[in-house]
Chain A
Amino acid sequence: MKTDETESGTENVCSLSYLSEIMGGKKNLIKEIMDVFLKQIPEELQCINDSVAKADYPIVKSLAHTMKSSVSIMGISILGPILQEMVDLAKEAENIEKIKGLNLKLNQICMRAISEIETAKHSYV
C-alpha cells in the first residue's frame, strides 16, 4: 500500500506497505497488529507525556526507544528522527524544553497516524 492522500489533502504519515510486506498481505494479521498498535500507542504517549512533564529522563529515553520499533513497523518514518533525538537528549539528561517541543510533534503525528490507521483498518476486515 503506497502512501496516499488524506481527506484534508495533506500527505499521510503512515505507509502500511512495509507492514503488508512482512505480513505477506495477510489481512487478519495486519488488522491484529493495527489493533495492538492502536491500543499501545495512546498508553505509551500518556507515559511519555507524564515523564516529560516530570523531566524523568531515563523513562523518556526508554519509552522513545521502544516506540521507535513500533512506528517503524507502521511505516511512520517521519517519527524516526524525532524519537532518536528524544533518546539522545534524554540520554544526556539535558534540554527539557527541546524534548517538550519534540514530544509535542510526536503527539501530533501520532494522533494523525491513529486516525489514518483507524480508517485503513476497515479495508482489512
Chain B
Amino acid sequence: MIFIYSKISEPSANTQKIISVNTKNQINIFIVDDNKVFTLALKADIEMAFKNMFIKIYTFETGESCIERFRRVMPELVILDFYLNSKIADAVDGIRVLDWIKKENNKTDVIMLTSNDHIDIALESLKHGASDYVVKTETQFKKINYSLLNLFKTREAKTEARRYKRLLFVLFFFVLIFMAGIKVVQMFAPHGAP
C-alpha cells in the first residue's frame, strides 16, 4: 500500500488531496453518455485530476454497449447519464441501466448525471442504488471529481477495515493457539515436579 498525491482540478484553491491506493488494483471506470464531446472531455479531465492513480476509463454512447462490456470488466465505478436516447429513440434510460448494474454487481458505485430541470430523477436514482448524483451545470466536472474522490476514499476505508478485521482474526487465532499450548503443557506436566 502506498500513499500518493492527486491534484483535484480546482482553479481557486488548487489543493492537493492525499489518496491511498492499492497499486495492485487498477480502478476501472465506465462513462456512459450519448454525447461524445462530453465523454471525451470528462475522460481527459478525470485522467488529469487523478493522474497518479491507476485508472482505466472506458466510454460508451449507449446503456446497451455498457451492459455488454460490464460483465467482462466489472468496473468499480460507473458515471451514468440518465438521458441516453438522443441518437437511438428506444435506447434504455439511465435508471434501467442502473438497475441492471446493481443486479449484476452491487459493489459497483454509480454516479448518476442529471440535468437541473430533473432533480426528481436524481432522487429516484439514489432510491435505485446510485452512490451519488451530479447535476450537469458549468461546474459539472469539478463536482464529478469531488464525487469520485469521496468514493475512492470510501472504497479505501472499506479495504482498510477489511484488512484490520483479518489482522484481528489472525491475532485472535494465535492467542488462542498460545493459550491452548499453555493448557496442554499444564495438563501433561508432571505434578509436583520441581
What is A's interface to B at a CB cutoff of 8 Å?
18-19, 21-24, 26, 29, 32-33, 36-37, 40, 44, 47, 58-59, 62-63, 65-70, 72-74, 87
Asked if residues B37 and A73 are in contact (CB atoms below 8 Å), the reply is: yes
CA distance A74 to B115 in the complex (A): 18
Asked if residues B35 and A69 are in contact (CB atoms below 8 Å), the reply is: yes
Contacts A23-B41, A29-B44 hold; do A70 and B89 have CB atoms under 8 A apart?
A: no
List 7 interface pairs A-B (beta carbons < 8 Å), by A numbering. Answer: A19-B41, A21-B9, A62-B86, A65-B86, A68-B115, A68-B136, A73-B38
Is B48 engaged at the interface, CB distance under 8 Å to the other chain?
Answer: yes
What is B's interface to A at a CB cutoff of 8 Å?
9, 11, 33-38, 40-41, 44-45, 48, 83, 85-87, 89, 115, 117, 136, 138, 141
Asked if residues B44 and A74 are in contact (CB atoms below 8 Å), the reply is: no
Chain A-chain B contacts (Cβ-Cβ < 8 Å), number: 63
Asked if residues A36 and B89 are in contact (CB atoms below 8 Å), the reply is: no
Asked if residues A24 and B48 are in contact (CB atoms below 8 Å), the reply is: yes
Interface centre among B33, B44, B48 (most CB of A within 10 A): B44
List 4 extra interface pairs beyond A58-B89, A68-B136, CB under 8 A.
A40-B36, A62-B83, A63-B86, A69-B37
Interface centre among B83, B86, B115, B117 (most CB of A within 10 A): B86
Please name the residue on chain A nearest to B47 by beta carbon: A29
Contacts A22-B45, A62-B83, A72-B138 hold; do A36 and B40 have CB atoms under 8 A apart?
A: yes
Asked if residues A22 and B9 are in contact (CB atoms below 8 Å), the reply is: yes
Which residues of chain A are near B138, meaning CB under 8 Å?
18, 72
Contacts A62-B86, A72-B138 hold; do A23 and B44 have CB atoms under 8 A apart?
A: yes
Asked if residues A32 and B86 are in contact (CB atoms below 8 Å), the reply is: no
Which residues of chain A are near B89, meaning CB under 8 Å?
58-59, 62
Q: Which of B35, B83, B85, B87 meets A70, CB within 8 Å?
A: B35
Which residues of chain B are near A36, meaning CB under 8 Å?
36-37, 40
Contacts A29-B44, A65-B86, A72-B138 hold; do A40 and B115 have CB atoms under 8 A apart?
A: no
Please name the residue on chain B nearest to A65 by beta carbon: B83
Please name the residue on chain A nearest to B138 by beta carbon: A72
Asked if residues B36 and A21 are in contact (CB atoms below 8 Å), the reply is: no
CA distance A58 to B11 in the complex (A): 38
Asked if residues A62 and B38 are in contact (CB atoms below 8 Å), the reply is: no
CA distance A58 to B83 in the complex (A): 12
Q: Can you list the 8 inter-chain pairs with the closest CB atoms, starting with the nearest?
A: A70-B37, A66-B86, A69-B38, A62-B86, A69-B35, A29-B44, A22-B45, A37-B37
Please name the residue on chain A nearest to B141 by beta carbon: A22
CA distance A70 to B115 in the complex (A): 14
CA distance A116 to B85 in the complex (A): 29
Contacts A59-B89, A62-B86 hold; do A23 and B36 have CB atoms under 8 A apart?
A: no
